[in-house]
């Protein structure tokens, strides 16, 4: 049996939805949103009207409960489950809730009281400190009005800056479905001859060291320019964190260096299981720091990693940003593991044949993490804050088990404001980029190098 309050709330919610955010009665002219949280105990969605303050890139809501002695149920819900849904009327979005503390909370509270003295009256009625929550938008999920009707609805409620932020975030992701004549079978045939012996370096390959780095690895260049002039492609190879083929990796680094038009340094990082996280991670960070110390411009440095190496370069970004180190100008992760919880659907249901399976991935997780948490950054990059990272070209095969790891990471990074291009190579399995080393080179490998050059 419902209570009069529940009935009243339902009436407000229905009116809000029917009139795209406008309601009458006691809330006429008020700034309201509908906030849907996940029940802390039940796990079920719970929707309630909430007053808000506009901010340029977030919404601020106040858990007043009309001045009651207890925080409202929705506040307990979002503390337990911070991802919420917000209906503004004109549009609906997903957001992450953060309870404000200290000076930031007090500053927002003062703004709220200045805009509506009723908030101060609520605080006088209760002994609790009324919480203030910032809702940081992740993505727009639905637009309820045509574009030409949005401005008026947004301006009058102070939502226009937030809408601009959301649209900018959405525009940060560009997805390309890369197609061509190659199939899994033609790729396999091209790769079958690669591992009979490492391909020789072409005659224009320069392997001289321009300077020594404090970590093992090898230089290769075909540009004829210095690292200080051209920048450096810092290359982290694949191999599940525990395998290496140095001559193949140097040949790969040569082709990448040629496509990027700058010297490449192939990092020979320490391998699992003897060296678990964060040993290889720390070596990559040290290599990059040393490049900067030698005068290599951060903005001309490219992080390039494939498979395990792609995970390493994404991990390193978290650490470098936290330490205040200038970030590289561009990042190219090819088929990274971005979520070591191994919960993404494509792991168990790749669109086609792939050599990487759940069994292989679980082995990699065990060997590399050595018992450390699998749901935290930097080791599991998608679980960290992605705001402020460099522009990225995320590359993945359309048939591989790690398709979702790449796709979801690209979406999350773009949602955090990062400029991301996602290239999905249709019909291709994990590690398809190794076809760069094949002779004759299949079309997919030529396309890969051409797209890398064009993107850079």
Catalogue the active-site residues. 307, 400, 430
CA distance 289 to 281: 13
Judge contact between 353 and 384, C-beta under 8 A: no
**Please, which residues bridge with residue 93 across strands?**
86, 140
List the one residue out of 267, 269, 279, 201 whose CA is nearest residue 232: 267
What is the distance between the alpha carbons of residues 334 and 237, in angstroms, rounded to a whole number?
10
How would you class 160 by CB atoms within 10 Å of its CB: exposed for 0-12, middle for 13-18, buried for 19 or more?
middle
Pairing of strands 45-55, 32-38: antiparallel
- Residue 371 carries which DSSP code? T
- Measured CA to CA, the distance from residue 308 to residue 303 in angstroms comes to 13
C-alpha span between 351 and 184 (Å, rounded)? 11
List the Cα angle 30/33/38 in 5-degree steps: 145
| E strand or H helix that includes residue 331 | strand 330-334
Distance (Å, whole) CA 392 – CA 245: 26
Side-chain half-sphere CA neighbours of 57 within 13 A: 9
Residue 359 CB burial class (10 angstroms; 0-12, 13-18, ≥19): exposed
Q: Quote the tokens at residue 93.
A: 């979005």
């Amino acid at each position: 049996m419902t209570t009069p309050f529940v009935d009243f709330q339902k009436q407000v919610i229905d009116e809000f939805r029917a009139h795209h955010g406008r309601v009458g009665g006691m809330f006429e002219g008020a700034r309201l949103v509908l906030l849907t949280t996940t029940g802390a105990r039940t796990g079920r969605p719970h929707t309630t009207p909430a007053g808000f303050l506009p901010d340029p890139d977030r919404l601020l809501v106040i858990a007043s409960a009309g001045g009651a002695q207890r925080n409202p149920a929705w506040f307990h819900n979002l503390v337990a489950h911070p991802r919420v849904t917000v209906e503004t009327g004109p549009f609906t979005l997903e957001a992450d809730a953060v309870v404000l503390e200290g000076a930031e909370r007090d500053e927002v509270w003062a703004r709220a009281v200045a805009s509506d003295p009723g908030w101060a009256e609520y605080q006088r009625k209760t002994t609790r400190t009324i919480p203030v929550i910032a809702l940081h938008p992740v993505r727009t999920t639905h637009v309820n009005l045509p574009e030409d009707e949005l401005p008026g609805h947004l301006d009058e409620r102070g939502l226009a800056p937030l809408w601009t932020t959301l649209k900018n975030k959405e525009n940060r992701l560009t997805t390309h479905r890369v197609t061509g004549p190659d199939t899994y079978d033609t790729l396999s045939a091209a790769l079958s001859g690669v591992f009979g012996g490492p391909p020789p370096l072409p005659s224009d390959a320069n392997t001289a060291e321009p300077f020594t780095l404090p970590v093992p690895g090898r230089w290769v260049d075909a540009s004829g320019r210095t690292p200080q002039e051209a920048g450096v492609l810092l290359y982290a190879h694949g191999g599940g964190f525990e395998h290496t083929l140095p001559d193949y990796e140097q040949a790969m680094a040569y082709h990448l260096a040629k496509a990027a038009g700058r010297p490449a340094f192939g990092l020979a990082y320490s391998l699992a299981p003897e060296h678990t996280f964060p040993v290889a991670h720390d070596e990559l960070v040290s290599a990059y720091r040393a490049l900067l110390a030698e005068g290599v411009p951060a903005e001309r440095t490219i992080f390039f990693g494939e498979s395990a190496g792609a995970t390493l370069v994404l991990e390193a970004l978290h650490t470098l940003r936290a330490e205040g180190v200038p970030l590289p100008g561009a990042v190219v992760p090819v088929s990274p593991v971005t979520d070591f919880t191994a919960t993404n659907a494509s792991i168990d249901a790749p669109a086609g044949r792939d050599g990487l399976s759940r069994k292989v991935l679980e082995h990699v997780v065990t060997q590399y993490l050595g018992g450390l948490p699998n749901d935290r950054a930097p080791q599991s990059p998608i679980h960290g804050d992605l705001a402020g990272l460099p522009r990225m070209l995320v590359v993945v095969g359309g048939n591989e088990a790690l398709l979702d790891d790449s796709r979801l990471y690209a979406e999350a990074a773009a949602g955090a404001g990062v400029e991301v291009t996602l290239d999905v190579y249709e019909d291709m399995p994990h590690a398809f980029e190794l076809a760069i080393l094949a002779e004759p080179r299949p079309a997919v490998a030529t396309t890969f190098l051409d797209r890398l050059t064009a993107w850079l």
